[in-house]
Amino acid sequence: MMVTKLGEESKMKNAITILIWAVLALSVPAGCTKEEAKKPSDKISVQLKWLHQAQFAGFYAADQKGFYTEENIEVTLRPGGVDIDEIEMVNSGRNDFGIVSAPLIIAKRAEGVAIKAIAVILRRDPTVYFTLKGSGIRRPTDFVGRKVIVFPNDFALPAMLSKRDLRMDQLVAVPPSFEMEPFFTGDVDVWTGYLTNQVLTARQKGHKLNLIFPDDYGIHTYSDVIITSDRMIKENPDQVERFLRATLQGWKWAIENPKEAGVLALKYDPKKDAKRQIAEMEASVPLIHTGEDNIGWMKKEIWQGMHDLLLNQDIIVKSVDMGNVYTMEFLKKIYRSEK
């Protein structure tokens, strides 16, 4: 009897041991060791185009809603500023990703800087030329002889004027300023600004405006483009794909929840006005989600059009291989996997 009892106890212990090992095996993903399952998060840094504000709501959403965490990455979002060269920060390796305007990417690539666009957030440029409603200035032909705010690297304005056989020397160029009072008083006739910023400011002060969009004159540009270095793409393509997938998910959430997304910026800068941030986010939605393609998508003809304008205006002195300027590799992988 004693032998039988001991034998039964031994069998029971063996069965319990087997069960424990089975549970442990199921707790680790197939093909992974326990060490691999505990792999630490990849640390990634992003150089923003400007100071913290709703302009970057999709990145904030990806961070605060856990989309980066789901991709096992820890992201640091670094604010930009007037003295920060976003492209150099990425090219030098001090930041892994950056947010810049598309024409600047082409110009820097023409200089041999090894950076590349992987997605575009603002598929329609928010830059707009606007006038007071009662000014009678409603189209580029009305700019002749008028005082117009002109930014040094604005290639859209001369291109838009040339569409109507006009030249830059036919208007009075005024240096850009953060102070809009000269516009409100009529001392400056045409202001150059963002639909998501200066236009909101003017309207909040009670002014009715005429808006002149370069898009309406065949000048199509991308803004707020996500870039990384050729080195990052070559050495860490998996990180690039995971970062971009989480970021696009963040922008999708932001577009679906613009009011909630707008106030996310306050975590990074509590001094921001919540109502203004919501207004900026709402104004940016149609520029991001155009209804044409997936969020972040890029078109060859838009890139080529920007390139040709830069070349025609001698901003770049020779043609650039557009295959070195942007890549659709990661966008295609991400959206293919969602189908």
Tokens of 182: 């000269």
When mean pLDDT is compared across 3-17, 72-86, 98-112, 129-143, the lowest value belongs to 3-17
Q: Which of 4-13, 103-112, 195-204 has the lowest mean pLDDT?
A: 4-13
d(CA 216, CA 218): 6
Instruction: Give residue 29's pLDDT.
Output: 43
From residue 332, alpha-carbon distances to 59, 129, 280 in Å are 20, 35, 29
Least confident range from 1-5, 48-52, 313-317: namely 1-5
Which pLDDT score is estimated for 157? 96
pLDDT score at 339: 59
If we measure between CA atoms, which residue out of 288, 200, 246 comes closest to residue 75? 246
Average pLDDT of 188-198? Answer: 97
Confidence class of residue 137 from pLDDT cuts 50, 70 and 90? very high
31, pLDDT greater than 70: no
According to the model, what pLDDT value does residue 337 have? 78
Residue-range domain boundaries for the chain: 2-37, 42-125+225-338, 127-217
For the segment 313-336, the average pLDDT, to the nearest whole number, is: 96
Average pLDDT along the chain: 90
Specify whether the backbone of 93 is left (phi greater than 0), alpha (psi in -120 to 50) or beta.
left
Q: Is the pLDDT of residue 333 over 60?
A: yes
Give CATH for domain 42-125+225-338.
3.40.190.10
User: Over 50: is that where the pLDDT of 25 sits?
Assistant: no
pLDDT greater than 70 at residue 56: yes
Give this prediction's pTM. 0.86
CB 330 within 8 A of CB 244: yes
Task: Average the pLDDT over 231-245 and give the result.
Answer: 98
Contact (CB, 8 A) for 290 and 124: yes
Taking residues 111-130, what's their average pLDDT?
97
If one compares 39 and 217, the residue with the highest pLDDT of the two is 217
Q: If we measure between CA atoms, which residue out of 61, 108, 115, 116 comes closest to residue 295?
A: 61
Q: What is the CATH number of domain 127-217?
A: 3.40.190.10
Q: Do domains 42-125+225-338 and 127-217 have the same CATH topology?
A: yes
How far apart CA 109 and CA 68 sit, in angstroms, is 29
% of the chain residues with pLDDT over 90: 86
Q: Which of 142, 150, 164 is nearest to 217 (CA)?
A: 164
Q: What average pLDDT does the segment 211-232 reach?
A: 96
Instruction: Mention every residue, 6+ apart, whose C-beta is less than 8 A from residue 174.
Output: 147, 148, 149, 150, 182, 188
Nearest alpha-carbon partner for 102 in 201, 223, 218, 215: 223
Q: What are phi and psi for residue 65, nearest 5 degrees?
A: -90, 0
Percent of the chain past pLDDT 70, that is, above it, reads 88
Cβ pair 120, 226 in contact under 8 A: yes
What is the pLDDT at residue 124? 95
User: Residue 38: which pLDDT band, with cuts at 50, 70 and 90?
Assistant: low
Locus of tokens 């679906």: 256
* Stretch 244-252: mean pLDDT: 98
Q: Residue 217: what pLDDT?
A: 93
